[in-house]
Structures are given as structure tokens and as C-alpha cells.
Structure 1
Amino acid sequence: MALKVELRPHERIIVGNCVITNTDQRARFLIEGENVPILRERDILTPETANTPAKLVYLAVQLMYISPDPATQHGTYFNLVRDIVTAVPSAWPIIEDINNNIMGGDLYRALKDARKLIAYEDKLREQFDATHPKGDVKGDVSSAA
């Protein structure tokens, strides 16, 4: 079954190991083939934008997804998730889902689950920020004045 894709002007998409960049007009096309990794620009993280632990996990899974040899990223991925589970044990159910999908070979679903990990991390950061206002950190010189 073919996948219908519509790209906005100048939008990029990864198909297999190629980056396709649209011109200055909308484009529609069909992608036919099995097990071809496809990532829209909005779903692509770069090493520069992977600036949190959960985003680094997403990047590792993304690299597995687009790689002809996903196992090359396993070491990096498992080191990252070990550190996250050590720091935030409540993230385990999401990581377990990612792990199961990786081990089952469903890297696209693992990537979707990694998005859930990013959302969970964002939620934890928001909760922390709400309970620890800036300037309320012990040893913060700015609040001492």
C-alpha cells in the first residue's frame, strides 16, 4: 500500500537514507515500498536539538530507525535509558515500551514511544518549575539581596 505524502513549501523529509527537500510550492506524492524509513521534518531531531536526556533517547531511536544496521545505536541507547531510569524510575513504563518495540523490530513505534518520553520529561520539568520558582534555589545569590 502506498503512503500519500504532502509537503509544504521548502519542507524536508527523510525517505530511506535520502533527504528530500521540497521546492517553493506544495507537493504531493506517493511512496511505495516496504520497510522504508520515512521521517517528516517536524519529527527529525538533530544532535544540536537533542538537548535533554529524553531527546537524546529519541535521537538514538531515530538513528536506529533510519540506519541499515540499527544495532550500532543499541549501546548508546541502553546507556541513556539506564541513566534515565536511575534518575527517574517512574519513566520505566515508557522506556519498557520503547525497549519492547526495539527488540521486536518495530522502530517506528519505538520512535512514537520515545515522543511520549519527551512529553513525560516536559511534564516533570513543568512540575519542578512550578514548585521551585527561579530565585528560590538554596544558595542562589540573586535571592539573597
Structure 2
Amino acid sequence: MALKLTLKPQERIVVNGCVMRNSSRRHVMVIETHGDIIRGHDLLEEGDAATPVAQVYFLIQTALTRADLRKKLVPAIQVKLAELVPVFGAERRGNVFEAANYVSASDYYKALRALRPLMKREQEIFAAAAQTPYLEAAE
């Protein structure tokens, strides 16, 4: 089955490690064979990987975009995913297992997709923690 991408003006995509940028017009691209593809808006900058889920996301993203590093990264990714299992409740733990299964199957894009809800939840948790006046209570 072919993958049909509609690219916005100036949108970036990475195909098999090659970064491409669309021109100033909207275009449709059909990819007819398997390739490692990720859109620019799904990419996480290394400096933004400051939380546990974001760090795993970044490692998986690197495995997706850098085939030469996969053999080295996959064991580290699986360890990091295993560390996330006790952090989330039962309703979100399935996302971690799903991501681990996709990594084992070398389907890195689907692994990233499985982690996105966890990244959102993690951001919510850290935002709430930042607003908690726990330091004032200790004084």
C-alpha cells in the first residue's frame, strides 16, 4: 500500500535519513515502497528531550532516521521503555508496551506514535508539578 503525503509549503520530511523540504507550494507526494519516513513536525530536537518519555522518543526517532545506529540504539531504547512501565498507570502503560513491540518489529514510526500520548501526559504532570507550592509548605 502506498503512502500519500500532503506537504505544506516549506514542510520538512525525512526519508531514509535524507532531510527534504517542500517548495513554497502545497504538494502531494506518493511513496510507493517502504521507507523510513517522518514529518518535520513529528521531529523532536535533541535539546527538547529533557524528560524521560521525550528521551526515549528521541532515541527512537534517531533509530528511525539513522539506520547505521539502530543496532546500538535498540537495546538502550528497550531499557528506557522498561523503566517507564511502572511510572504510568494501567490506562497508559499499554502505550509503553505497544512502543516496545513496535521497536522490536523495527517499526519505529509506529513506536513514536504510541509514545505521543505519553509525552502529552508527561507534559501535563510536569506543568502541574511546577504550579504546586511544595516549597512554600516546607518553609
TM-score (norm 2): 0.79
Letter in 2 for 1:97: E
**C-alpha contact (below 8 Å) 2:6/2:29 kept by paired residues:** yes
Higher relative contact order (CA 8 A, sep 6+): 2
Matched residue SS, 2:23 = coil
Q: Distance in 2 between matches of 1:110 and 1:116?
A: 11
Identical aligned residues as a percent: 27
What does 1:1-145 align with in structure 2 at a 5 Å threshold? Answer: 1-34=1-34, 36-69=35-68, 70-85=70-85, 88-90=87-89, 92-129=93-130, 132=132, 136-138=133-135
After TM superposition, give the deviation of residue 9 of structure 1 in Å. Answer: 1.6
Structure 1 SS opposite 2:47: coil
Q: How large is the Cα RMSD of the aligned pairs?
A: 2.6
Amino acid paired to 2:114: D
Distance 1:51 1:32, change over 3 A: same
- Tell me which amino acid in the other structure corresponds to 1:57: V
Q: What is the distance in 1 between the residues matched to 2:88 and 2:42?
A: 26
Over 3 Å counting, the alpha-carbon distance change for 1:140 and 1:23 in structure 2 is farther
Deviation at 1:105, TM superposition (A): 2.9
Does structure 1 retain, via aligned residues, the 8 Å contact 2:38–2:109? no
Q: 2 CA distance for matches of 1:89 and 1:5?
A: 33
**TM-score under structure 1 length normalisation:** 0.76
The whole-number CA distance in structure 2 between the counterparts of 1:117 and 1:102 is 16
5+ residue gaps, structure 1? none
Partner letter of residue 106 of structure 1? D
The amino acid that maps onto 1:25 is R
Number of residues of Structure 1 aligned to a counterpart in Structure 2: 136
Shift of 1:106: 2.6
Structure with greater proportional helix content: 2
Hey, what's the Cα distance between the residues in 1 that align with 2:94 and 2:81? 12
Greater shift in the superposed pair: 51-60 or 115-124: 115-124
Structure 2 residues without counterparts, runs of 5 or longer? none
Deviation at 1:68, TM superposition (A): 2.3
Deviation string 1:41-62 (CA, Å, 9 cap, x unpaired) is: 1111121222222111111111
Give the structure with higher Rg (CA).
1
Structure 2 distance, partners of 1:66, 1:128, is: 33
In 2, the alpha carbon distance for the partners of 1:18 and 1:114 equals: 23
